[in-house]
Structure 1
Amino acid sequence: MILQNHIIPVNENGGLPLSKRYWAILATALGVGISVIDVTIANVALPTIAHDLGTSPSVTIWIVNAYQMAITISLLSFSSLGDIYGYRKIYLSGVLLFSITSGICACADSFWTLTTARILQGFGAAAITGVNTALLRIIYPKRFLGRGMGINALVIAVSTAAGPTIASIILSLGSWHWLFAINIPVGIATLIIGLIYLPDNPVKVTGRHFDKFSCLMNAVTFGLLIFLLEGITHKENTTLIIVGVFALLIIGYFFVRRQLRQQFPLLPVDLMRIPIFSMSIGTSICSFTGQMLAMLSLPFFLQETLKRSDVTTGLLLTPWPIATMIIAPLAGRLVERIHAGILGSIGMTIFAIGLFLLAVLPSNPTNMDIIWRLFICGSGFGLFQTPNNSTIISSAPSNRSGGASGMLGTARLLGQTLGATQVAMIFYLVPINSSQTCLYSATGFAIVAAIVSCLRISQPRPL
């Protein structure tokens, strides 16, 4: 989709020259930023959108779910395409699709138009996030990859935190259509900078073709998984759930079996045979499960139990991403000298301590009691994520960076989905002290992540 315009050559070991590196990082940061912001930016406006389009709240939520599901079912496919055709092409094609569909969202006058556009927008976001970290591997010299991962973690933390705030500002000035329209100028800027400064793949995979059937099986497998988790959460028909479980087991079995026979599988099961890679993926899933358990349950705790207002709740949750913003770049430099297993274990231990301290808050805590505990959580999460992501990418062969990038994103989405499902189940099964139970569960996942991360110390650091 994107023309071969002004492609910058790159040295596989040395990355881009410093002057061009900054512009390339800006291109990746802008694209990832708008794709992450759009996960949460529409949440605030859902009641308004439901009123304007004449839909019920339960139906309108699909404007958010459709975007998230599209990313999940297509992320690995776009990562594979990046390995075959080049990360630069896939990334810029994703930005182009994301920008066009943002325009359609901004002009939408019906629920179905908006939802369809959000699905296509999700595919664009999957193309962006599916190869983003693979691009970092060829933008940065190998010895400085952790710094790039630190900046990437910072961008994601800021974007995640900024979504609701940006939405509130836009809605105070105009209609919900502007929530999507603001993506267009950012997307255009990303395309221009990316066309000029993003490098092409230094390693080409010859004789490899895109496996369309695996792409379909991947979409059905992950689609069924999300459907079942959502169905269990919302108490769907038991027979339907049972049929779905059998379908998932059968399709998932043949999908994995097919991948084991592929030289370059869409689901990179071969990379999971690398011990430090598989352990890092496992710790990533646990960390994001714990994060989502906390982030979804805390607003209920702050508003319903502690009687804090909506605005106060938003401000009280801010120290978490701020701490991650501060620590993540620092962790990116530390991983150049300290094993990621050590940093990850320390980070997840700090994270677990912060979560436990939140679970045992006094009955009438002050705002400062909450703030410093959340800062501990964000610090531990930031210290873990950057070295862990760097290890996932650098432990894979150079020509499999796209697959590694896709697995990194899939681990994050899977962890977040599992966390969200557990929150709903805990709130249903434990109606009293639900939020506290969620925080204890999150603490447990953080401890497991710390233990597994510690086991990585026996593995050699990726070269």
Structure 2
Amino acid sequence: MKPANTQPSLPPTSGPQPFVPARQALASLALSTLLASLGASVTAVGLPVLAQAFDASFQHVQWVVLAYLLAITTLIVSLGRLGDLIGRRKLLLAGIALFTLASALCGLAPSLGLLIAARALQGLGAAIMMTLTLALVGETVDKTRAGSAMGLLATLSAVGTALGPSLGGMLITGFGWQALFLINVPLGLLTLLLAWRSLPAGQAAPVEKVRFDVIGTLLLAAALGTYALAMTLGGGHFGGLNVSLLAAAILSGGLFVRTQRRRPSPLIPLAMFSDRLLVSGLATSALVATVMMATLLVGPFYLSIALGLPSAIVGLVLAVGPCVAALAGMPAGRLADRFGVRPMRLLGLATMASGCLLLSLVPPTLGIAGYVTAIMVTTLGYAMFQTANNAAVMAEIPANRRGVIAGLLNLSRNLGFFSGAAVLGAVFAAMLPTNGTSTVSPEAVADGLHVSFAVALCLMVLAGFIAFKYREPEPLTACQDTAGRP
């Protein structure tokens, strides 16, 4: 992948080396990933209890989840760039500390408003952790083992997603809703201590003086925030409010691009997007996330209505996907190290497409076995793709650009989740009666599953085409190298 400026990039191992094994540094990054993922998944199961505790409606209490996700989505790229400028180790330590402090504030919040505010702070810390753990892999792990390291991070992220609902249920039952957040305090302190002792000091800020792009940060946050709200508000109905928010997102995005062309030190140098491999990695990541969101949205309805399963069994079946991702992450990383990240990326997309095909055809008569088999194939493909794609995109990034590229990778995934909730959610809803799910027939839900994943299959074919066509970086020319100068 070509560098974004003419300043020579520093090798990942330059500068002072840590006095502890690299495994400890990688363990601190893995724990950071686990905490950020757990923070997103552990609270969903507690929303009914929180609504009762604060005497609030679902529309109000859902902001306990939305505030966390919005903070991550709107700031993740800016925080990655900030880490490039002031030092990734320093900012990651601050992010872990902020996440831990915000977790304590959440557990002690006396009102719903303060809880939501504390969750936004927690999301800010999580955004730092999610971005900089990915960026710091290049400074802590040898390049030949980058795939395995990415696989470990993917595994811990999946473990956090799978563990959240069951752990949350046990914590609420035994200790009350406060324990959903206070559990992060000792874990956060342990992660902070391990990261402080093990992470390398890294490289200082670039030789030339570069200012942080505050205007670009505000415009990008406005564009991403309004887009995320446009995709999530309205309960599946895309009305006037959604259209207005989407228009605001387009306007803010246009202003952001215009300012980036003129800024001497832009938040995101637009010349980076002339790199075909980078654009391919971001586009396919968004498409894959869009498809994975469909499994989270449609699956519960299919299991409970079409198959008639009780809630307890539905929860167990839904945990199969994250468990497969957790088990497949590290083997997928080792395979990427052995056979190359780009072939493994294509194999992951092909496997996901096979899973979508199975989901678009599976008859309810096959019961749990048919659904679980298709989900296992889909999730296995996702684990292979995600590990290989992250390693491919981050492979040749200059040291002073790792943070912003890691932020873009995480952002593409989050935007895919929001888009999947809106687009594939609307496809599924179009197959159901307009008077709600209480009168829907099992046949209609099964048809909704089939149509939704037929559309998902088309998206996977598109992702495969993009990944195959732009699987190699474009040769760097002197003109392009100059254009990439920040």
Q: TM-score, normalised on structure 1? A: 0.92
Q: What number of residue pairs does the alignment pair up?
A: 452
User: Is the contact between residue 150 and residue 328 of structure 1 (CA under 8 Å) also seen in structure 2?
Assistant: yes
Q: Please say which of residues 89-98 and 341-350 is displaced more in the overlay.
A: 341-350
Q: Which residue of 2 aligns with 1:265?
A: 266
Alignment match, 1:4: none
Q: Trace 1:418-433 onto structure 2 (pairs within 5 A).
A: 418-431=419-432, 432=444, 433=447
Are the counterparts in 1 of residues 213 and 265 from structure 2 also a CA contact under 8 Å? Answer: no
What amino acid does structure 2 have at the position aligned with 1:313? V
Question: Is 1:454 the equivalent of 2:455?
Answer: no
Paired residues for 1:294-313 under 5 Å: 294-313=295-314
Question: Quick check: 2:294–2:425 contact (8 Å CA) kept in 1?
Answer: no
**CA offsets per residue over residues 196-215 of structure 1, 9 Å max, x none?**
11112236313111111111
Partner of 1:396: 397
2:451 to 409, 418, 437: 437
Partner residue of 1:361?
362
How far apart are residue 358 of structure 1 and its match?
A: 2.0
Aligned equivalents of 1:371, 1:242: Cα separation in 2:
37
Amino acid at match of 2:229: F
In the other structure, the counterpart of 2:225 is 223
CA distance in 1, matches of 2:186, 2:472: 48
CA contact (8 A) 1:345 1:451 kept: no
The 1-side partners of 2:172 and 2:243 are apart by 42
- Mapped contact 1:356–1:440 kept (Cα < 8 A): yes
Structure 1 counterpart of 2:98:
97
Which of 205, 216, 237 is the matching residue for 1:214?
216
Moved more, 21-30 or 240-249: 240-249
Q: Deviations over 1:287-330 (max 9, x none)?
A: 11111112221111111111112221222233322332333222
Contact preservation (8 Å) 2:18, 2:199: no
Q: What is the CA–CA distance in structure 1 between the aligned matches of 2:278 and 2:238, rounded to whole Å?
A: 36
Superposition deviation, residue 422 in structure 1: 1.9
Alignment of 1:50-449 (within 5 A): 50-202=51-203, 204-206=205-207, 207-231=209-233, 234-235=236-237, 238=240, 240-262=241-263, 264-431=265-432, 432=444, 433-449=447-463
Measure how far apart 1:350 and its partner are: 0.9
Query: Are the equivalent residues in 2 in contact too, given 1:335–1:343 (CA < 8 A)?
Result: yes
Q: Which moved more, 1:356-365 or 1:173-182?
A: 356-365
- Contact conserved, 2:14 with 2:203, CA < 8 A, in 1? no
In structure 1, list runs of 5 or more residues that go unmatched.
1-9
Report what 1:6 is aligned to.
none
Distance 1:320 1:398 in 2: 35
Instruction: Please say if residues 339 and 461 of structure 1, whose CA atoms lie closer than 8 Å, have aligned partners that are also in contact.
Output: no
Contact 2:40-2:69 at 8 Å conserved across structures:
yes
Shift of 1:357: 0.9
Contact map agreement 1:147 1:329 (CA 8 A) in 2: yes
* Other structure's SS at 2:339 match: coil
Trace 1:6-85 onto structure 2 (pairs within 5 A). Answer: 12-13=12-13, 20-85=21-86
> Judging changes above 3 Å, is the alpha-carbon distance between structure 1 residues 299 and 279 closer, same or farther for their aligned structure 2 residues?
same
Matched residues in 1 for 2:359 and 2:119: separation?
36
Gaps of 5+ in 2: 1-9, 433-443, 477-486
Q: Distance in 1 between matches of 2:261 and 2:19?
A: 40
1:226 maps to amino acid:
A
Shift of residue 337 of structure 1? 3.9
Counterparts of 1:171 and 1:155, CA distance in 2? 23
Give, in whole Å, the separation in 1 of the partners of 2:395 and 2:266: 18
Residues 281, 411 of structure 1: 8 Å contact kept: yes
Cα distance between partner residues in 2 of 1:19 and 1:111: 43
**RMSD between superposed Cα atoms in Å:** 2.2
**TM-score w.r.t. structure 2 length?**
0.88
Report the 3-state secondary structure (helix = DSSP H, G, I; strand = E; otherwise coil) of the residue aligned with 1:270: helix
Q: Which moved more, 1:265-274 or 1:228-237?
A: 228-237
Instruction: Give the AA of the match of 1:12.
Output: P
Task: State the SS of the aligned residue for 1:44.
Answer: helix
Label 1:461 to 1:147 Cα distance change in 2 as closer, same or farther (>3 A).
Answer: farther
Q: Which amino acid aligns with 1:127?
A: I
Specify the code of the residue in structure 2 equivalent to 1:456: Y
**Whole-angstrom CA distance in 1 between matches of 2:281 and 2:220:** 22
Residues 48 and 209 of structure 1, relative CA distance in 2, 3 Å threshold = same
